[in-house]
Amino acid sequence: METGDSRERTDRLALGAWVKLARSAESVSTRIHGHLAAYRLTVSQFGVLEALYHVGPLSQRSLARKILKSTGNMTHVLNNMEKRGLVRRQPDPKDRRAVEVHLTRKGTQLVRNVFPRHAEIVRREMSILNTTEQHELGRLCRKLGLQTKEP
């Protein structure tokens, strides 16, 4: 498809872009999620709260897909959250294999507390980029992430 030389060049460019993407995501993530410890929330737990709050009740499988974790892990995460009274499992009447995961009042209150702080921190972290740049970053990342998962 390409000559060896041009191939090396595109490899270097792709590797560089990928490394920068991975490192920036990881270091920004560390900075953004630092404050969650104050609420004894893990990143996964926060992801679950956020999804349930914004989307409404979901099955465990949908939750797992949303936060990109395995279903086995989701069982574990939800067990911990249920113990703390943040979520409630409710049998799905339409499918007796499935459960609907609901936010409890306590979970709703917590996410209403945490989310504004979260948004503020994200805004601050991203504010190094101007509006146009944030749009462009979002566009490029969406394109990348949307690569076909199952052909």
Partner DNA sequence: GCCATATTGTTTGATATCAAACAATCCCGT
Partner DNA sequence: ACGGGATTGTTTGATATCAAACAATATGGC
Binding site residues, a copy of itself, CB under 8 A: 7, 10-11, 13-18, 20-32, 68, 119-120, 122-123, 125-129, 131, 133-138, 140-145, 147, 149
Can you say how many angstroms the Cα of residue 65 is from the centroid of all Cα atoms in its chain? 10
Closest CB 121 distance from a copy of itself, rounded Å: 10
Report angle CA 28, 34, 36 to the nearest 5 degrees: 125
Picked from a copy of itself, DNA, none, the partner binding residue 112 (CB below 5 to 8 A depending on kind) is none
Q: Name the CA dihedral angle for 72, 56, 35, 17, rounded to a multiple of 10 degrees.
A: 70
Closest CB 113 distance from a copy of itself, rounded Å: 16
User: 57 or 115, CB closer to DNA?
Assistant: 57
Q: Which residues pair with 59 in a beta bridge?
A: 100
Closest CB 70 distance from a copy of itself, rounded Å: 11
Q: At which residue do the structure tokens 């601050």 appear?
A: 124
User: 106 or 112, CB closer to a copy of itself?
Assistant: 112
**Residue 45, helix vs strand vs coil:** helix
- Residues 129 and 141: their CA atoms lie apart, in Å, by 15
Closest CB 145 distance from DNA, rounded Å: 16
For the chain, where are the alpha helices, taking DSSP H only? 4-33, 43-55, 60-66, 71-83, 105-126, 131-145
Closest CB 142 distance from DNA, rounded Å: 21
Picked from DNA, a copy of itself, none, the partner binding residue 73 (CB below 5 to 8 A depending on kind) is DNA
Residues that bind DNA (CB under 7 A): 42-45, 59-62, 68-78, 80, 89, 92, 95-99
